[in-house]
Amino acid sequence: MILGADVYSEILQNGLRKGPIHTPLAQATVFGWILSGSIAENPAMLSARVHYCSPDDEINTLIRRFWQQEEVTTLRSKLTPEEEACETHFQRTHTRTETGQYVVRLPLKQSVSALGDSRSNAVRILFSLNRRLNANPEYARMYTEFLNDYETSLHMSKVPDDYVPKSIIYYLPHHGVLRPSSTTTKLRVVFNGSARTMSGKSLSDIVYAGEKLQTDLRVVVHQDDWDLQRILWLSNGKLVEYHLRTVTYGQACAPFLALRAFKQLVIDEGHRFPLATPMLSLGRYVDDEFGEADSYTGVH
């Protein structure tokens, strides 16, 4: 520590010890004892040993956090009972289409009869949204384009007039999230599977969340569960109902279903791509994949 002469007098305390001539003197300060003065030229008197020990909790904490952050995380070897039930449900109910797409069922842990009316709340939220759309034509254009693209991409489809529901209907309210800095989709519509029905339960309340997994993968939902993924939209002032046909983010089970289907793809098709299997199985961080190869050819 280096201090200026202007603060020297402020750190002094009572206590001064002098030794023989040509030896340093010791002065008590707020920091402890300090030594100053000349040293004899006798080589025998030039040797000195000083020991200092002071615990620094802040440094210890920083170092501990560093090692914890850099430590390789080991995968859990055991699932919780709910995670195991969700995994069993997936293995028992998932199928594949002729084109190879995975079709999944929503992992219900309670009967859908636990849900109450959800349409009245969805209608209220839609009309509130419509007032905002009317006040902001650009926002309305982006919102409509998003849903039109959603329908064109078969993420959703209109409910036919003569459609007979296969189960209790759950309507997901939705709203837009603006991302002005995005170079692709500046508005994304978010569906709320946690909106409570008149019974106090939401769709997310009655499904297993599953193991904490996440990726952005399109997975088809079995048609028998489409009624649990309905939304409302206004077209020319008329209420129109849609089925959401794919795993929809905003539900508790969506991250699990999406990535579990991805994992199943590795299980089902991994033998055809042995070099890619380790990367797809172990080289994932959130929704990114990392891998390496010893040559340019190996990368391809």
Return the minimum-mean-pLDDT range out of 12-21, 100-109, 184-193.
12-21
The count of structural domains within the chain is 1
Angle, nearest 10°, between helix axes 254-269 and 81-93?
60
Question: What is the average per-residue pLDDT within 162-186?
Answer: 88
Report pTM: 0.64
Question: What is the average per-residue pLDDT within 278-287?
Answer: 63
In a domain, 32, yes or no: no
In a domain, 53, yes or no: no
Among 232, 225, 274, 280, residue whose Cα is nearest residue 253:
225
Task: Give the three-state DSSP class for 130.
Answer: helix
Q: What pLDDT was estimated at residue 140?
A: 94
In a domain, 54, yes or no: no
In a domain, 30, yes or no: no
Return the minimum-mean-pLDDT range out of 91-100, 247-256, 273-282.
273-282
How big is the CA angle at 245 (ends 99 and 232), to the nearest 5 degrees? 160
Question: What is the average per-residue pLDDT within 25-40?
Answer: 81
- Identify the residue with better confidence: 194 or 44: 194
> CA-CA distances (angstroms) from residue 203 to 26, 43, 65, 107, 225?
76, 85, 38, 11, 11
In a domain, 38, yes or no: no
Average predicted confidence (pLDDT) for the chain:
82
Residue 238 belongs to domain spanning: 81-262
Among 42, 97, 229, 208, residue whose Cα is nearest residue 150:
229
Residue 159 has pLDDT above 50, yes or no: yes
Q: Distance between alpha carbon 83 and the CA centroid of its chain, in Å? A: 18
Residue indicated by tokens 């305390």: 13
Question: What is the average per-residue pLDDT within 183-207?
Answer: 91
In a domain, 37, yes or no: no
Q: What pLDDT was estimated at residue 43?
A: 52
Rounded Cα distance, 226 and 249, in Å: 14
Checking DSSP bridges between strand 230-235 and strand 174-178, what pairing results, if any? unpaired
Question: What is the average per-residue pLDDT within 291-300?
Answer: 65
Task: Give residue 18's pLDDT band: very low, low, confident or very high (50, 70, 90).
Answer: confident
Task: Give residue 298's pLDDT band: very low, low, confident or very high (50, 70, 90).
Answer: low
Task: Give residue 287's pLDDT band: very low, low, confident or very high (50, 70, 90).
Answer: low
- Identify the residue with better confidence: 183 or 223: 223
In a domain, 108, yes or no: yes
Rounded Cα distance, 30 and 12, in Å: 7
Q: What pLDDT was estimated at residue 226?
A: 94
Q: What pLDDT was estimated at residue 90?
A: 94
Write the CATH number for 218.
3.10.10.10
- Residues 33/27, Cβ–Cβ less than 8 Å: yes
In a domain, 235, yes or no: yes
Q: What pLDDT was estimated at residue 69?
A: 47
